[in-house]
Amino acid sequence: MLSPKPFKICHQTCLALWRKVPIQRCVHVAAAARNSAFSLPGHSSQSRQSNEGGRVIFRRSLLVWSSSPRFFSSEHSSADPPLPSPTSASSEQSGESMTFLKFDDLSEEEQKRFQMLQFELEILRQSGHPVPSKITEKEWRKVMALSSRFSRLKFFRFLFMNEMSDINLKKKKAQASILRQAHCDQIKAEISENPEIMRYGLSFNTMFPYIRDTDMLKTYNIRLAYARTLGQPIIFDVDYDNWMSQREQTNTATQIRDSYALNKESRDPFWLQICNCRMENETMKALKSALPNMGEPSCLIEYTTKSYLDIFPRSQLVYLTYNAEATLDRFNHDDIYIIGGLVDKTNPKPLSMAKAKREGLRMAKLPLDTYLRWAVGGKNLTLNQMMGIMLDMKQHGDWEQAFLKHIPKRKYLQPEDLIPNHPNPYHRRPSATMRVDGGRIGRPQEYQNHKRRQRGVLETLLSK
């Protein structure tokens, strides 16, 4: 594993060798004699490295200088010797050493840039910017891809926030476990005092059987399998990878993961499909890491490189896009709805509308204006919100209830604040006459027909 060139083995490389991870060389630039007079509390002169979950994590003291005994100050007292010129500084004993991380596959130019970025991180830390205490190799490579200082600042802030939320979560969990322990101890003490008394409640005598998570998962999977054979398909079209930034691609993946979870826990799930996916794309990579069992039999999610046009009849397909002209008044149980797997935070363009137009598909938008008075924000919804609305519509067919449940509250005015027939349109409740069936709650006739049809199919299958 050692490269032929001899290099100075330090603590980091020893650890790297020991843990059999790819070697990151640790190079001392200008390793002069270190006679540290004083160092700031955060600056230990040793950089540590640990292996967490197979990833190499470098502790925060990547870049370290031992301090110098020589200072400059605003006033130089007569006792001070004259300031050394920069040329003489290196010859003196007051040199500092900075330890930089090094990746083997970088060229010399890139390595220099990498060193500058490490220096930048240290300076940002010194000037109080929110930066993470440790950065993994993968994250460093992302930092290297960013061209401007501002974007790097944003990325460091993002990592810092993640780190802080992790720490806070751990704190909360620790507190909760202390409380739980105290509660348990108290009950144990009570039981030991009078062991004769019958106790009712959870984890004592109760009429409810204990249902384990695995049992629930089995139930969910049975429903998903049923949907897989006979249910209504719903499609995520992840063909927009080139239009998204890295962050948006990751967001798309997490939203699809959340949609999958919603679908799984629903009483009447869809047959979830992901079309046009290429595994080399960032979105799919992120989805693979969000759903590690994707592609295995335990994960009932379908993904293909094919287009939906090759799988389903064109007449049944409906593309849901907020740029569409037509409104989806009624949820049709025979149609196959397509949701564009697209997060457009920075540069919204009518991409899904353009695609549906090009492919000559029917397209529709949700009847948001018929049921809600919009307050702020765009009328584009996240993928998991769309999934939630479609699942609810499949169950009960009431738009208003579905919207109120899944659209964030800030986006619309609350219905109880609105007045029917108010002269000011801002306070006026959306007209009920526009709604399908007057917006009544309950399953429409179509759903019953659909269920009857399904039952018929099942019976014919069973009779064979």
Provide the binding-site residues for other proteins, judged by CB under 8 A: 29-30, 37-43, 65, 67-68, 70-78, 80-86, 89-90, 94-96, 98, 112-113, 115-117, 119-120, 122-130, 147-149, 323-325, 349-351, 353-355, 357-358
Tokens matching residue 320: 């849901």
Residue number with CB closer to other proteins (17 or 354):
354
SS3 363: strand
337 forms bridges with which residues in the sheet? 234, 318
In 194-307, which residue ranges form alpha helices assigned H by DSSP?
Answer: 213-230, 246-265, 282-290
Of the two residues 272 and 324, which places its CB atom closer to other proteins in the complex? Answer: 324
Instruction: Look up tokens 């009078």; give the residue.
Output: 194
Burial class (CB in 10 A: 0-12, 13-18, 19+), 360: exposed
- Which residue's CB is nearer to other proteins, number 153 or number 225? 153
Q: What's the min distance (Å) between Cβ of 337 and other proteins?
A: 19
Closest CB 27 distance from other proteins, rounded Å? 11
Of 270, 288, 292, which Cα lies nearest the Cα of 278?
A: 288
The CB-of-187 to other proteins minimum distance in angstroms stands at: 37
Q: By C-beta, is 352 or 370 nearer to other proteins?
A: 352
In the chain, helix, strand, coil percent, each to 5? 45, 10, 45
Q: Smallest gap, in angstroms, from Cβ of residue 442 to other proteins? A: 34
Report d(CA 238, CA 217) in Å as an integer: 27
Least Å from the CB of residue 67 to other proteins: 4
* Residue whose CB is less far from other proteins, 288 or 379: 379
**199: which 2 tokens?**
């106790």
Q: Is 26 exposed, middle or buried (CB count within 10 Å of its CB: 0-12, 13-18, 19+)?
A: buried
Q: Which residue's CB is nearer to other proteins, number 128 or number 297?
A: 128
Give the HSE-up count for residue 54: Cα atoms under 13 Å, Cβ half-sphere: 0
Residue 73 CB, nearest distance to other proteins (Å)?
A: 4
In whole angstroms, the minimum distance from the beta carbon of 325 to other proteins comes to 6
Question: CA distances (Å), 285 to each of 4, 246, 252, 290, in order?
Answer: 35, 11, 11, 9
* Comparison of 38 and 200: residue with beta carbon closer to other proteins: 38
